[in-house]
Each structure stands twice: as structure tokens, then as C-alpha cells.
Amino acid sequence: MARSYYVFTNGRIKRKENTVYIENETGDKKAIPIEDIDTIHLYGELDLNTKLVNFICQQGKTVHFYNYYGFYAGSLIPRERNISGDLVVKQVEHYLDPQKRFYIAYSFVEAALFHILRNLREYKDTDEYQHKIKNELSKAAESKSISELMGCEGRAREVYYQAFNVILKEGFSIDKREKRPPTNPVNALISFANSMIYTTVLSEIYHTQLNPTISYLHEPRERRYSLCLDIAEIFKPLIADPIIFKLINNRIIKIEDFEEDVNYCYMNDTGRKKFIKELDQKLSTTIKHRKLKRNVSYKTLIRLECYKIIKHLIGDETYTPFKAWW
């Protein structure tokens, strides 16, 4: 079964027949048959040529690039194969209609806060935080605009991140959420985790007919796939945050896994590998789907969410956001 590959070494990546070869600076090679690849994540400094790029695009594989600090920089996305002009029109129509747009946007917020509350219920002394978040969810349901809705969601997340100080052990804490740049190890871990969910969602959207630039909660803008941000809201607290809690509270991630020379505000390769190992395991974990009556992975849940959005846009089935039932 095709899966994601993560490359941290410096060197070269090239094609030979139907195989992708990753060669590090010392000449060691790793051969990966193209049919085994779903997505490639490149963290190291690697040379690649047009022969490889053409091959990757022909095979419909995505490649994500990350900068020195491990944050998402961009993607190589093959030419769209699942093009649907009719669906693009429907996406735009739902964006331009305030009522239709608000319904989808609120659905994303509702599911995000549902999973946030689900996380908090797993820990003691979080009742006060849960109460405040429930209040913001009630306000979100009564809001009249996207800006009001995002305000409710933003305040709920502020409360949620304050609860991290109750949940996290081993000396890790967070004063407030800061992104550009992260100001402490917890912020660095959250930023890295969120970027990994973003690229995972982008890869899954690519396999559908959705246009990733047309969004509903986040405003569509240049140089970003804003629909990925929308859908990621549902899955960040479901997938990424429990991994953060596990890594810190089980002492898998330690202060040494962050860059000391930049005041521990960025993860090093060792820390990133620890997170990615847990993320890979999580994405491949399966649950019994209540509607499909079969086991599906967490990664598949993301693609199924895309299909549900498509059905809503074309009028086949009203969209109800995914909410974990287990």
C-alpha cells in the first residue's frame, strides 16, 4: 500500500526506470518503487532534476518541501487529473452566497470545538476551560458573519491553549499561542504539528475534484491553499494535539529535541522524526466506520470528509462534519 516518505538527509533524489532513488551525501542509496509512494516530504537539502519531476507528476504523486526549521515551504502538485469545472462553479457559488458559506464555515468550527472538548474531557481539572469553550460554541451558533464566527473560534482556541498548562507535564508550558516565529518549545511543536496536518489534507484534496484555493471559513488569498486550512481545523485536535500530549507527557519529546541556539523555538531533526513517527502511526490506525461498516484509517477519514463536502456542494447530501464517536 502506498504511504508517505520523509527525507531528512542531504543529498540527491532521482529516477531510474520505475524506481525513486534517494542518495545521501555519503553515497548510501534507498530505492523506493513508485507504486509504494503516496507522498514525499523533503526536509533535507536535496538535488532533483526534471526527469524525476516529470516522473513524479506523471504518476500523480505529491512532494512537500520544508525549510531549515521544518516548516512548510511549498509543494510540487501534479497537473490536476480530477478536473470538474461544474464543481468549481459550485464551490464559488457556495462561497459567494453568505448563507451557504456560513453553513459550511460553522460546520468546520463546530467539529473543531467538538474535538477540542473531547480532548479536554480526557484530563482532570479542565472543567472551567470546557465551560468557556462551550460558551464560545454557543456564541458561534448565533453569530451572523464569518468574522464573528472566527472570533468565537479564536477565543475558544485561546482557552484551549491555556488548558495545555494543565495537561502538559515535564516542565513544558505555553503563555499564549505565537506562530511567526514560535516563541517556546510548545509553540514550536504546535506549529510543526499543524503544518503536517495541513500538508496531509492538501495531499488528500489532490485526490478529489475539490479546488484547494476556494474556502469558506478562512478567506481565500494568494499563495495559500485555504480550503486545507478549513478542513485541517477538524483534524488538528483529533490527530495532532493528542500526539503532542503523548510525546511530552511520556517524555518522548524532551528539551534536547529543540534548537538550543535559537532559544528552543524550533524543533531539530530528532524531534521532528519523533513527531512524524507518531503521526504516521496515527494516520494508519483504523477505526470501524459507522456508515461504511468497514475499517478505515484516520488518513482515509480526511479524504472521506472531502467527498462529503463535494456531495454537499452538488446538492446530493447535506454536509455534516466528522465528529469522532469513540
CB 191 within 8 A of CB 69: no
- What is residue 134's predicted lDDT score, i.e. its pLDDT? 98
| Paired residues of 31 in beta bridges | 21
How many structural domains compose the chain? Answer: 2
- What is residue 175's predicted lDDT score, i.e. its pLDDT? 80
Average pLDDT over residues 166-188: 83
Please give the mean pLDDT across all residues of the chain: 92
- What is residue 29's predicted lDDT score, i.e. its pLDDT? 87
Q: Are residues 129 and 188 in the same domain?
A: yes
Check the annotation: does 153 bind a ligand.
yes
Q: Are residues 194 and 269 in the same domain?
A: yes
Q: Are residues 58 and 96 in the same domain?
A: no
- What is residue 184's predicted lDDT score, i.e. its pLDDT? 85
- What is residue 177's predicted lDDT score, i.e. its pLDDT? 83
- Tens digit of pLDDT for each residue in 63-115? 999 988 788 888 888 876 667 889 999 999 999 999 999 999 999 999 999 99
Average pLDDT over residues 301-309: 97
- What is residue 119's predicted lDDT score, i.e. its pLDDT? 98
Q: Are residues 89 and 72 in the same domain?
A: no
**Domain membership of residue 294 as a residue range:** 85-313
- What is residue 81's predicted lDDT score, i.e. its pLDDT? 66
Report the SS3 class of residue 235. helix
Would you say residue 222 has pLDDT above 80? no
Q: Are residues 269 and 129 in the same domain?
A: yes
What is the DSSP code string of 221-281? -TTS-HHHHHHHHHHIIIIIHHHHHHHHHTTSS-GGGB-GGGTT-SB-HHHHHHHHHHHHH
Half-sphere exposure of 119 (CA within 13 A, CB side): 28
Pairing of strands 62-66, 37-42: parallel
- For residue 162 the three cell numbers come to 491555556
CATH of the domain at 193: 1.20.120.920
- Tens digit of pLDDT for each residue in 240-263? 999 999 999 999 999 999 887 777
Would you say residue 305 has pLDDT above 80? yes
Average pLDDT over residues 312-326: 96
Percentage of the chain exceeding pLDDT 90: 72
Q: Are residues 92 and 66 in the same domain?
A: no
Would you say residue 1 has pLDDT above 90? no
Q: How confident is the model at residue 223 (pLDDT cuts 50, 70, 90)?
A: low
pTM of the model: 0.90
What is the DSSP code string of 274-302? HHHHHHHHHHH-EEE-TTT-SEEEHHHHH
CA separation for the pair 131, 116 (Å, rounded): 12
Query: Is residue 318 a part of any domain in this protein?
Result: no
**Residue of 168, 161, 162 whose CA lies nearest to 250:** 168
- What is residue 40's predicted lDDT score, i.e. its pLDDT? 93
Would you say residue 172 has pLDDT above 90? no
CATH of the domain at 24: 3.100.10.20
